Amino acid sequence: MGSIKLEEYLPEQLPPRWSKLLGQQSLDMLARVGRNLDSMPASAALMTPTGANILRAFATPPEGVRAVIFGQDPYPGLGHASGLAFSVEKTVSPLPASLRNIRTEYSSDVALPLPSHGDLQAWAHAGVLLLNRHLSTLISSPGAHRSLGWADFTNHVVSALAESSQYFVAILWGREAQELKPLLGDTPTIESAHPSPLSAHRGFFGSRPFSRTNRYREEAGFVPIDWSLGVEQ
């Protein structure tokens, strides 16, 4: 980020429609996280994702959110974090293990073809908010930024969405995501084990989160989500 102060930069990156929903409190939270990051200049070069992608999930406008998939914190691998939970850029290979397991369940659940890459941006365009609870970390240091205030901000996002009139389904993979359930009110939830290799065989595989999300939506009178990721010709 060079000489840019994240204390000022992060609040400016939150799209106006999210700022309106979340209020000044959210901007103050982002400024506080940015101030904490600014106080660690020695590690700035190791921050992931890049500053421009930290709030990338919020390109999905609040009124367009049809489902939320919650992650923990960004992938710590070099070049892996994209700003969208569980997603990587098209050039990343091999794919992170959790993403490979998500793709396996996706293929089994909705029987759609898989692209060769692990970019889930198509889901974001279809209204799926791919939101990590902590929006930055350091390369090779998972969880490095969990004490900087990110959870306060993302908890506020969850509460504001739940209290809005927007109908969405919350997909809670693993303990950290399931900690958000008290903030979700009457929001329909789908819970299972996390897709990581340590837990995927303990309830993630076979949980059918994608088809179940669409069933919730259709039963409530809303259009289903197009989960297609597209396949290169």
Backbone angles phi, psi at 33, to 5 degrees: -60, -45
The number of residues making up the chain comes to: 233
The whole-angstrom separation of Cα 92 and Cα 132 is 19
Alpha carbon dihedral 217, 221, 223, 227, in 10-degree steps, equals 10
- Residue 226, SS3 per DSSP: coil
Contact between residue 57 and residue 83 where contact means Cβ atoms under 8 Å apart: yes
Catalytic residue among 38, 73, 109, 119: 73
User: Catalytic annotation on 73?
Assistant: yes
| Contact residues for 98 (Cβ-Cβ < 8 A; gap 6+) | 86, 194, 195, 196, 197, 200
The whole-angstrom separation of Cα 58 and Cα 122 is 14
158: nearest Cα among 128, 135, 180: 180
Cα-based angle 23, 166, 61 (whole degrees, multiple of 5): 60
The whole-angstrom separation of Cα 34 and Cα 17 is 21
- Which of the residues are catalytic? 73
